[in-house]
Amino acid sequence: SNWPRTGDLEIEDLVVEYVPNVPVLHGLSMSIKHGEKIGVVGRTGAGKSTLSLAFLRFIEAAKGRIVLDGVDISKIGLEDLRRNVTIIPQDPVLFNGTIRFNLDPFSEYPDEIVWDALHRAHLVRERGSQTASTAISVFEGNAIDSSLERMSGIFTSLEAEIKENGQNLSLGQRQLVALARALVRRSRLIIMDEATASVDFDTDDRIQRTIRGSEFADSTLFCIAHRLRTIIDYDRVLVLDKGKVAEFDTPANL
Ligand code: ATP
Ligand code: MG
């Protein structure tokens, strides 16, 4: 199907509960325009992860609805929904196999698109087919150095091998691969749970540049942020408090 064409999102009186009649989200309502970058903050237990689970219907709304590009997501088949909405957890799961397989497991897209996604996720420097001369560094299994210079050219071949659970990549690099996967699929809605402490500054910077750059102009993005620095440049910040919207405004107005 061609749904969704846009990342326009309406959340209408959304109530979510794990235990009947014990709401964890108490009737959230908000309108989000295609392409907006939303930072989500709030204390532990505020309901941030619950909201992200609701977007993929890992937990169903007890009341209210989430409407993506004009369609109530509860009316969409689960497989279709989860193919189109991307969630990037704190510690993304990668498969044992090539980088190509990790980005396009069903071989649905041409190499060009896979390279383009790697480029846009700042995992390779050059767009298009890579040659020895454009290759910056060789993929060296466990010996990946996460310095900026070497990050620029982690993948010099689409056949580069990813080990079980992405053990040969750092946490931040795994998030970048997951972002690249979202770019291949052209997800119109992406929910990211920002990686915490263990991500080095350069990788974190690269993730944030990827998210905020033109690369994601066509995607609405929610980023559950743990650092204030992260959300400074976002379009709006959603502050959740005990399952309610405490604030929803531009960073400048907060
Ligand atoms: P954190 O910043 O710690 O990740 P959060 O904002 O993501 O917190 P949630 O995980 O959404 O918070 O939890 C919101 C509320 O829902 C909490 O009170 C939590 O105890 C409850 N909750 C979360 N998962 C479950 C579950 N599987 N069963 C029952 N209650 C749950
Ligand atoms: Mg959480």
CB 192 within 8 A of CB 222: yes
Mean pLDDT of 112-127: 81
In this structure, what token pair is assigned to residue 203? 């990788």
| CA distance linking residue 25 with residue 240, whole number of Å | 9
Task: Write down the pLDDT at residue 237.
Answer: 96
Measuring from atom 28 of ligand 1, which residue has the nearest CA? Answer: 18
Q: CA torsion 210→214→218→219, rounded to 10°?
A: 20
SS (H, E, C) 12-48: EEEEEEEECCEEEEEEEEEEECCCCEEEEECCCCCCH
- Ligand sitting nearest the alpha carbon of 244: 1
Residues 6+ apart with CB under 8 A from 111: 100, 129, 158
Q: What CATH superfamily classification does 9-253 receive?
A: P-loop containing nucleotide triphosphate hydrolases (3.40.50.300)
pLDDT at 219: 94
- Tokens 């497989």, residue located: 79
> Tens digit of pLDDT for each residue in 242-251?
999 999 999 9
Closest ligand 1 atom to residue 240 Cα is 6
Does 142 score more than 80 pLDDT? no
Q: Could you tell me if the CB of 52 is within 6 A of ligand 1?
A: no
Atom of ligand 1 lying closest to residue 46 CA? 6
Instruction: Name the amino acid, one letter, at 73.
Output: I
| 230 Cα to the center of ligand 1, angstroms | 22
d(CA 183, CA 171): 19
88 near 192, Cβ under 8 Å? yes
* Confidence at residue 226, expressed as pLDDT on a 0 to 100 scale: 82
Cα separation, 236 vs 187, in Å, equals 20
The percent of residues above 90 in pLDDT, for the chain, comes to: 57
Closest residue by CA, ligand 1 atom 12: 45
Sequence-ordered list of residues with C-beta below 8 angstroms from that of 133, at least 6 positions apart, any chain: none
ipTM for this model: 0.98
- Which atom from ligand 1 is nearest to the alpha carbon of 52? 11
- Look at residue 128 in the predicted model and tell me its pLDDT: 43
What's the gap in Å between 50 CA and the centre of ligand 1?
6
Residues in a beta bridge with 162: 97
